Structure 1
Amino acid sequence: MMPFCHGGEALACRTWASSMSRERTLQCPYENLQQLAEQSPLYEPAHMSTTMTGGGRTFDLHPLDSLLPHEEVIPSNLDTRLNKLVSRGFYKPILVDSVTKVILDGHHKWKAAKLLGLSRVPAIRIDYLNSSEISVDVWPDCGISSITKRDVVDMGLSESLYAPKTSRHSMTFKIPKLSIPLEFLRD
């Protein structure tokens, strides 16, 4: 399947991809993912982002090492994410604060991407502290009674991490589905 295919466009993308000869694929003139994205029928330029349908959300390809976690991961959930990424490619972008690059949702995908040697990941940016589209609460029995957006950002900027499943984010929008083969996320 071609990168950036999702929803109803998946069949059209598979048909287009299968019509390409192996020789043509191997002689691909595109030197980077942005050039490849620009050839997708789903591409719309938006400040070097790719606009996805589904709530009008955009995602960018962020260097993996530029993103900051604020909580640890659960090893068994990490194994599940690793297997899903290997079998499906990157299927949903992670959610990050646009100002600090603190990861809000997608810690297991981020950690799995690191273990798989990816250099970049698709991420939706949101002005976390100023947005009414996202709120935070704690998971039951997480060990703390309350949490604020500022607490999440401060933890992400510190050298410490919350325990797994401490913060529970709720959004008024859906994170769009996508399909990006892992080879396009490596250097």
Structure 2
Amino acid sequence: MPELPILSPSYCVAIKPISFLRRSEEVDDSEVRQLADRIREADVWTMPIPIDIQTGIIMDGNHRARAAILLGLDYLPCVLLSYRDPRVMVRSARTGAPFNVDEIYRRVVHDVEMLPYKTTRHDFAPALPCTEIRLGMLRSGGAGITPS
């Protein structure tokens, strides 16, 4: 019998209003400005931001989300996930040990405070998809954008 390939579950990428996203970690403002300049120059959004589907917590991409605000974008492509999804692994950026995601919910959802800069590292298996969306389409009135 021939061996069948193992298929991994696909990701859902949806256009979400930036107002739905919740920042989870502090950012480096100079890095945000440099990133915004690179994205503006390319005029295309290539990396969807993985978020918790229920809360809008940004899992990875706080700098990109802040750059989007500087660029005047109203919507962003997001990979819709859950912290309970087996494709998501969260570790401490400092020690590499598993990170308690309940701490993320406690601090971010309940508006206690954001995590310090580079507190967590998120790994996704399989790797997240890429996009190629013109920036003009991510602004209000963009051609054909229907946010989900």
Alpha-carbon shift at residue 169 of structure 1 (Å): 0.9
Give the aligned partner of residue 64 of structure 1.
18
Percent of aligned positions with the same letter in both sequences?
25
Counterpart-to-counterpart distance in 2, 1:176 and 1:119: 21
Aligned to 2:106: 154
CA distance in 2, matches of 1:154, 1:100: 12
**Structure 2 CA distance, aligned partners of 1:99 and 1:146?**
22
Match for residue 121 of structure 1? 76
What stretches of structure 1 move > 4 A for 4+ residues in a row? none
Q: How does 1:5-154 map to 2 (within 5 A)?
A: 56-88=10-42, 89-128=44-83, 130-140=84-94, 147-154=99-106
Structure showing greater radius of gyration is 1
Question: Offset of 1:159 from its aligned partner?
Answer: 4.2
Separation (CA, whole Å) in 2 of partners of 1:172 and 1:112: 26
Q: Greater relative contact order: 1 or 2 (C-alpha under 8 angstroms, separation 6 or more)?
A: 2
The answer as to whether partners of 1:63 and 1:119 remain within 8 angstroms in 2 is yes
Partners of 1:135 and 1:149 within 8 A in 2: no
Secondary structure at the counterpart of residue 128 of structure 2: coil
Counterpart for residue 3 of structure 2:
none
Partner of 1:16: none
Using the alignment, how far apart are the partners of 1:180 and 1:146 within structure 2? Answer: 34
Contact 1:70 1:153 (8 Å CA) reproduced: no
More helix by share: 1
> Conserved in 1, the CA contact under 8 Å of 2:90 and 2:98?
no
Partner AA of 1:66 in structure 2: F
Unaligned runs of 5+ in 1: 1-53
Contact 2:15/2:76 (CA < 8 Å) preserved in 1? Answer: yes
Contact 1:71 1:161 in 2 (8 A): yes
Quote the offset at 1:85 in angstroms. 1.4
Pairs aligned (count): 130
- Give, in whole Å, the separation in 2 of the partners of 1:185 and 1:155: 29
Note if 1:180 corresponds to 2:133: yes
TM-score between the two structures when normalised by the length of structure 2: 0.80
Q: Which blocks of at least 5 consecutive residues in structure 2 are unaligned?
A: 1-7, 141-148
CA RMSD of aligned residues (A): 1.9
Cα distance in 2 between the residues matched to 1:91 and 1:80: 16
3-state SS in 1 of match to 2:45: coil
Describe the SS at the equivalent of 1:168: strand
